[in-house]
Amino acid sequence: MESHREGCFLLPNAWDAGSARVLEAAGFPAVATTSAGIAFSLGRADHDYGGARVDRARMTDRIREIAAEVRIPVSADLEDGFGESPETVAETISLTLAAGAAGGGIEDFTGDRSRPLYDPELATDRIRAAREAVDAAGEPFALVGRTDVLLTGGPLDEAVRRANAYLAAGADCAFVPGAADAATIGTLVRELDGPLNVVMGLTGNALSLADLRELGVRRVTVGGSIARAMYAHLLDAARELADRGTFSYAENQISQTDLNQLFRR
């Protein structure tokens, strides 16, 4: 594999237009979205086992807001396409294209504890339907096929099989969250018939972007990690205010003038 010579791109994940603008200002040539961060910013839990989730209309509204405010491409986290059927997934892709996204990922996680993943054949049909929706639109759109095998406790060889099936069905890139160590990532790079996306930003991560590049990873995202780190800072500030009645959290801030300038372009 010489794929590491083709570059390794980091797409940090935004949750609203403001976070996307700051990431753009930091120099990233593209951003992803985080469905977890978007859900949290709306005061809701992320798509998980059980419980309500943010519906497709609100999610695509937020994607549209983000895409409208930045000048760089936006790749949307589309969870499972907001439905089981390939037709629903195709519709979600069309809505996401209409919202201004330049890419998006479809995962095989169902949210149903009795059947955490869509069956392989259905999951592959869902990616194929997404591909057909992209091709029918005739606009550039990077389709990511994501398998949650490792996140749901499945074996690496099943992750490889599913990732390759999604690539064969038309995904431009395979995304395997849960692959976080060099051995696992190295195996995936060797075994996959296309580019690999991994997600970083969990605590205890020991790999750098340079390590990932060396391993042959082509695309790196950070999921909800920036958002979750912001919530830790927010809770720290809230506790300082509530428990001590002091304002030292505010000593490290971007001034109103500088933020106005950043957002006014």
Which residues in the 28-57 window bind a second copy by CB under 8 A?
Answer: 28, 36, 39-46, 48, 51
Q: DSSP state, 167? A: H
111, 49 contact by CB (below 8 A): yes
Please identify which residue in 114, 115, 138, 253 interacts with a second copy, judged by CB under 8 A.
Answer: 253
CB-based contacts of 194-199 (< 8 A; 24+ apart in sequence) = 194/164, 194/167, 195/3, 195/219, 196/163, 197/105, 197/144, 197/146, 197/173, 197/221, 199/175, 199/223
- The 3-state DSSP class for residue 108 equals coil
Neighbours of 248 (CB within 10 A): 9
The site map against a second copy for 72-111 (x = CB under 8 A) is ----------------------------------------
Q: How far is the CB of 198 from a second copy (least distance, A)?
A: 12
Q: Interaction with a second copy in 133-172: which residues (CB under 8 A)? A: none
Residue 12 in contact with a second copy, rule: CB under 8 A: yes
Q: Interaction with a second copy in 211-240: which residues (CB under 8 A)? A: 222, 224-226, 228-235, 237-239
Paired tokens of 11: 């797409």
* Pick 124 or 197: Cβ nearer a second copy: 197
Please identify which residue in 4, 17, 120, 154 interacts with a second copy, judged by CB under 8 A.
Answer: 17
